[in-house]
Structure 1
Amino acid sequence: MTWNAGGMPLDATSVGQRVVVRYAVGGTGPSGGPAMSDVIGRVRAVDAAAVTLERRDGRTQVVALADVVTWKPVPDRPLRRRRAGDVDPADLTRITSRGWPAIESVALGDWELRTSGRFTGRANSVAVHGDPGLPFGDALDRVRAFYASHDSPALAQVVVGSSGERAFAGAGWIPMTGYHGGAVVLVADLDPAYDADPDARIAATADDDWLVNYGRVNDPVAARAVLEGPDTVGFVSIGTPAVAIGRVVVTGEWAGIACVEVSPEHRRQGLARRIVETSLAWAVEHGADKAYLQTMRSNHAALALYKPYGFADHHDYRYLEPGSTDSAQ
């Protein structure tokens, strides 16, 4: 059996090849055309009716040939200089800071004092990694003074279980009031063959429509300064007006995926997956071979969304604030 899509044969000689297949899933997509999905896997069988693919996570998927819109072979994943899971938590914290840069960032030895008009904890806390370059008590004094001078609460972002967390806790700092549990950083080695969704748009700036969907913005000027800060950043959206959004940033060989949001009335339609797939494709095109993302440990829907793409736990972090027994009080 030989079958063609876009002039390329799909037959018994394709068995063993790694391919991406786009196929119709029934119904109408957001743009008004047929709803479609993509699958990447290794061809295990082709007969008169269907192609059987083995996905990266070991699952098997059968796609009817009548539903296939197009397909193409994709290369095997290349050898890497360093795998995503091998990076040290301190190094990854530095990488994530570059992907979510504060409006003002001041070095305190290896620590980073960050402030951004209170837009997000990541951009308004001291990133604790490495050595502050002076005795710990003196470093705490510098942290308190910095945030007092910016009329902002002092917060420390610490890796759970790290020596930094233990040192701050020993000085009387406590988990941030009202913070919903801990956050987890997930990492993955990227595949070279993600397919960008044809209905998705990627812009270099966050327009008003994108910010409305993101939702957690009190100061648009501060938000845009942080979100648009990196040199290589894309704002992904589907629909006009947008019904699903995401943000992807590339710093060196690392990509950061963030801000994946779908409007409530359009959920459970695969839009979040399409945003993620498009973001990963864009990241690979811009030179990334590893990716990270940060989400709440309690956000089970997000964890389930990213798992098929190979994202796995790297480390947890939390925010600490001075408690009633803070050594300065």
Structure 2
Amino acid sequence: MTLDAAAVGARIVVRHETGGTGPTGGPQMTDVVGHVRAVDDSVVTVELRDGSTRSVELSTVVTWKRVPDRPVRRRRAVAIDPDELTRITSRGWPAVESVALGDWELRHAGRFTGRANSVAVTGSPGLPFAEALDRVLAFYRERSAPALAQVVVGSENDRLLAAAGWTPTAGYHGGAVVQVADLGASYTSDAVARVSPTADDEWLSHYGRVDDPASARAVMEGPARVAFVSIGAPTVAIGRVVVTGEWAGLSAVEVDVAARRQGLARRIVETSLAWAASEGADKAYLQTMRSNTAALALYRPYGFVDHHDYVYREPGTGFSQG
């Protein structure tokens, strides 16, 4: 059976050669299980459960078959490790430039948001901590950008950064709380809401905080499965939802001041969750400032609870970024 574009959207297991030698002397093989997102003449792209993707050259495929969708929810949203969730949220808000340093991810996107312009410090960098920090400083120095580290509050990496003289930033980039929820059985998509795979100029103008529309679109439109929700003509309320693997990420829920207290934010969230569920998500996350009590109150009826906090740290006065 030919593996071609007809398989897009299906869940498959594909066995392929890795290029090495197996234990019996024959070709080494491995299996990849996930949903097909793209197929061309030479490569099939498969999305794994955590939202990451794996590209397999068709010339290495030994066999493949369709398999049933995985059973509904194997673990609750709150059970996920904070570092793993950080990596999932990063895929949902991908930087224009992303470079791996062991488990760490160096991100740069023209200074559009701290999430897309910081190193995500999770797990191990694969080299001594001090040397890893030197690599981080060099990465951002080469791009004429300030070095910033996003790290889970209270984690071992947070402790090591503090010991190395990296201090919490102040103001807008101070950090946030990450909340999670298990998605319910059904949500109602608003009859007048518009759902688009791209952010038009009107949507961006309501989001604000956009000095460089090209960088903003590159980040927010980057994931393979993303939707921009809006209500009103002209637009008075917006939101963004992304699905990576089994997770949905909610962000950018904004309502014009004059249109508030009319239930528009709730309608944006409900429509976003309906779209996410239709894309196969069974868990969701959001990131917001802990001081944003209005946002926390909006999401509480949908079952969102605290998972962890993260903070941004920057080099102390003893470090040179120039």
Q: Do the structures match in fold with TM over 0.5? A: yes
Tell whether the 8 Å contact from 1:181 to 1:297 is kept in structure 2 after alignment.
no
Tell whether the 8 Å contact from 2:107 to 2:116 is kept in structure 1 after alignment.
yes
- The 5 A counterparts of 1:274-285 are 274-285=267-278
> 1:323 deviation in Å?
1.0
Q: Which residue of 1 aligns with 2:148?
A: 155
Tell whether the 8 Å contact from 2:72 to 2:282 is kept in structure 1 after alignment.
no
Is 1:266 matched up with 2:259? yes
Q: Percent identity?
A: 72
Asked which structure has the greater CA Rg, the reply is: 1
Q: Alpha-carbon deviations, 1:148-186, whole Å to 9, x = none?
A: 011100000010000111111101111113346541000
Question: Match for 1:97 among 90, 99, 110?
Answer: 90
Question: Match for 2:114 among 121, 132, 137?
Answer: 121
Tell whether the 8 Å contact from 2:95 to 2:117 is kept in structure 1 after alignment.
yes
State the distance in 1 between where 2:144 and 2:223 align: 26
- The 5 A counterparts of 1:1-329 are 80-179=73-172, 181-326=174-319
Cα distance change of structure 1 residues 104 and 181 upon mapping to structure 2, 3 Å threshold: closer
Cα distance change of structure 1 residues 216 and 171 upon mapping to structure 2, 3 Å threshold: same
Tell whether the 8 Å contact from 2:147 to 2:321 is kept in structure 1 after alignment.
no
Q: Secondary structure at the match of 1:221?
A: helix
Q: Structure 2 length as normaliser, TM-score?
A: 0.76
> 1:325 deviation in Å?
3.8
Q: Secondary structure at the match of 1:129?
A: coil
State the distance in 2 between where 1:136 and 1:223 align: 32
State the distance in 2 between where 1:246 and 1:181 align: 23
Q: Secondary structure at the match of 2:209?
A: coil
> 1:82 deviation in Å?
1.3
Q: Alpha-carbon deviations, 1:205-242, whole Å to 9, x = none?
A: 00000000001100000000000000000000000111
State the distance in 2 between where 1:173 and 1:123 align: 19
State the distance in 2 between where 1:120 and 1:197 align: 29
> 1:294 deviation in Å?
0.2
Tell whether the 8 Å contact from 1:100 to 1:226 is kept in structure 2 after alignment.
yes
State the distance in 2 between where 1:138 and 1:308 align: 45
Tell whether the 8 Å contact from 2:242 to 2:250 is kept in structure 1 after alignment.
yes
Aligned residues: 252
Cα distance change of structure 1 residues 328 and 272 upon mapping to structure 2, 3 Å threshold: closer
Tell whether the 8 Å contact from 1:237 to 1:246 is kept in structure 2 after alignment.
yes
State the distance in 2 between where 1:181 and 1:210 align: 26
Q: Secondary structure at the match of 1:81?
A: coil
Q: Secondary structure at the match of 2:145?
A: coil
Q: Secondary structure at the match of 1:236?
A: strand
Q: Structure 1 length as normaliser, TM-score?
A: 0.75
Runs of 4+ in 1 over 6 A off after TM superposition: none
Identify unmatched segments of 5+ residues in structure 2: 1-70
> 1:328 deviation in Å?
9.2
State the distance in 1 between where 2:72 and 2:88 align: 21
> 1:315 deviation in Å?
0.2
The letter of the residue matching 1:87 is: I
State the distance in 2 between where 1:323 and 1:240 align: 48
Tell whether the 8 Å contact from 1:107 to 1:113 is kept in structure 2 after alignment.
yes
Tell whether the 8 Å contact from 1:173 to 1:326 is kept in structure 2 after alignment.
no
Identify unmatched segments of 5+ residues in structure 1: 1-77
State the distance in 1 between where 2:228 and 2:72 align: 29
Cα distance change of structure 1 residues 100 and 180 upon mapping to structure 2, 3 Å threshold: closer
State the distance in 2 between where 1:279 and 1:245 align: 10
The letter of the residue matching 2:252 is: C
Q: Which residue of 2 aligns with 1:5?
A: none
Tell whether the 8 Å contact from 2:173 to 2:312 is kept in structure 1 after alignment.
no
